[in-house]
Amino acid sequence: MKKKAELPYNLDDDTSLPYYRLVMVAAGAFYLSWYFVVEVLLPGSYNPFWGRFLTVLSFWGVYAASIFSASVRKNIEFWFSFAAWTTTLHIYYLFYNNRIDITWVWGCYMAVITIAALMQTMRSMIAYVMYVIALSIFINYVSPNLSQVLFLPGIFTILGVAFIGLRSRLKLTMQVRENALQIRRLLDSTFEGLALHDGEFLLDINESMAKMFGYTRQELIGKSIYTMCTLESGQMAAAHIAQQAESAYEAIGIRKDGSRFHIEIRGKKHMLKDGVLGRVAAIQDITDRKKNEQTKILFEASQEALRIRNEFISIASHELKTPLTSIKLQTQMTQMAAAKGDPQAYAPERMKKFVSQVDKQGNRLTNLIEDMLDVSRISLGKLSLEKAPTSLNSLVEETLESLNDLIKQSGNQIICNLEPNIIANIDRFRMEQVLTNLLTNAIKYGEGKPVNVTLTKYGNEVSFSVRDQGMGIAKENQERIFARFERAVAAKNISGLGLGLYISQQIVQAHHGTIIVQSAPNEGACFIVNIPAE
């Protein structure tokens, strides 16, 4: 709700309104009371009540009109003059009808000088003066014995005095007005918005502030500052105000049209009149600054993305060259033998070994490329899962089956401890990837010792774990190993991009699950995966 404002300086055109209203009410009351004064002090005078009352109504009527009509308020000076002229006319009328009694001459003088003193502008003064002169000349003409009382010279003198008095008063007012205007213009010229408030309601603002928020000055004055910013910003502002903090802070302002924009606020305490403590704040529109920050952040993000991509390409190309090198060595050796004329160059035994090697390297390449594609999919957010209720028991069995050759070669013993009938809503292909990764890691780093696989369910979660008894993982590496390209210890027989655990973690997290490692150097490692059953 708008609050009545008390401003340190006020230059609006309708400031004179309260003055005129006061004067009109008082003048009306005063003039009415003179009816009774005359009745008591000058009994027998011509003093009709209703004429006087109607005259008083001219003041009060204009006052009332000024409440309801904006046009009257805007032209209050004119309407005041109208009431003043009406009263002057009434006085001259009474004056005339009281046979130009000397007392009434003085009464006339008093009335004229009082009314003249109430004039606020030069033009209304001049108009009144001319009006009174005209009235006086007329009444002088109509009552010739007035010239004996030197009525006209008296009136002229009074009007002259009033005129001079008003002129100096006006000059002073103009000066003050001009100074105030200059200050106002200065305040309005700042780039920042300035606001003066009492802790909640705006008392005064400058033009920049109004423009910034899309209001007129009038609309903003009296408004609560908390309606002009978001809830969080308001809380911040309240805290700053309470602590009388002078530090700048960012906030979000709300314009008249409801749009939001970034601002920076800096305030300090300010003494209002009557010893009341208020606050003055400077407000800056930092939309541009924010945009630049945003651009900078985006730029740096894209630079980082480029760096990651380049790093990835360099690591990938290196890793892909390794199996290719093996293949090329094999083919070159075979060709060179043939070129030398070695009859055994393409011997079946040799070819058998060659083909199996090339096949092996081909698989390595395939796995590498699939991993790279997975990483790419993950970074694009395209790791989509096709979930279906799956028996984890059969998944474990099939994965072990597919790794059979590897298991036989490395000689690891796989010990399974699977609770029966564990079913979960998972993407079979992807979870097999995770299981394969964990198992091959266990075999790779297990130093030939037995590997334990467990599968269990508790509550709404399914959990499986793969434990090896190999070299273990030092504490400082336990987080790193899940990052891209990281390996705590490099591969020996199966090289890779160091992406296995990274991809596994991404897959598990995409299932809203968790994967953790428990390990210590030389005490093996246990990888535990928990996923919701649904």
In the complex with another protein, the residue whose CB is nearer, 286 or 358, is 358
In the complex with another protein, the residue whose CB is nearer, 387 or 487, is 487
Q: How many helices (H) and strands (E) does the chain have?
A: 16, 12
Residue type at 449? K
Please report whether residue 410 would count as binding another protein according to CB under 8 A.
Answer: no
Please report whether residue 480 would count as binding another protein according to CB under 8 A.
Answer: no
In the complex with another protein, the residue whose CB is nearer, 266 or 487, is 487
Please report whether residue 353 would count as binding another protein according to CB under 8 A.
Answer: no
Please report whether residue 322 would count as binding another protein according to CB under 8 A.
Answer: yes
d(CA 375, CA 506): 9
In the complex with another protein, the residue whose CB is nearer, 326 or 390, is 326
d(CA 55, CA 487): 104
Contacts of 468 (CB under 8 A, 6+ apart): 441, 442, 443, 445, 446, 447, 449, 451, 524, 525, 526
Please report whether residue 352 would count as binding another protein according to CB under 8 A.
Answer: no
Other CB atoms closer than 10 Å to residue 485's CB: what's the count?
A: 16
Please report whether residue 321 would count as binding another protein according to CB under 8 A.
Answer: yes
User: Cβ(417)–Cβ(386) under 8 Å?
Assistant: no
Residue numbers 360-399 binding another protein by CB under 8 A? 360-361
State the nearest-atom distance from the C-beta of 486 to another protein, in Å.
Answer: 12
Please report whether residue 425 would count as binding another protein according to CB under 8 A.
Answer: no
The only residue of 493, 520, 521, 522 in contact with another protein, by rule CB under 8 A: 493
Q: Name the DSSP class of 258.
A: S
**Which of 41, 139, 40 is CA-nearest to residue 94?**
139
Please report whether residue 336 would count as binding another protein according to CB under 8 A.
Answer: yes
Judged by CB under 8 A, the stretch of 92-100, 329-337, 447-455, 457-465 that binds another protein is 329-337
Q: Which helix (H) or strand (E) holds 308?
A: helix 287-340
Please report whether residue 476 would count as binding another protein according to CB under 8 A.
Answer: no
In the complex with another protein, the residue whose CB is nearer, 28 or 496, is 496
Please report whether residue 25 would count as binding another protein according to CB under 8 A.
Answer: no
Please report whether residue 330 would count as binding another protein according to CB under 8 A.
Answer: yes
User: Cβ(431)–Cβ(422) under 8 Å?
Assistant: no
d(CA 220, CA 5): 11
Tokens of residue 111, six digits: 């009335």
Please report whether residue 416 would count as binding another protein according to CB under 8 A.
Answer: no
Please report whether residue 350 would count as binding another protein according to CB under 8 A.
Answer: no
The only residue of 145, 332, 394, 522 in contact with another protein, by rule CB under 8 A: 332
In the complex with another protein, the residue whose CB is nearer, 103 or 522, is 522
Q: Using alpha carbons, list the distances in angstroms from residue 446 to 113, 151, 417.
A: 115, 129, 18
Q: Which residues of this chain interact with another protein, rule CB under 8 A? A: 314, 317-318, 321-330, 332-333, 336, 357, 360-361, 487, 489-493, 495
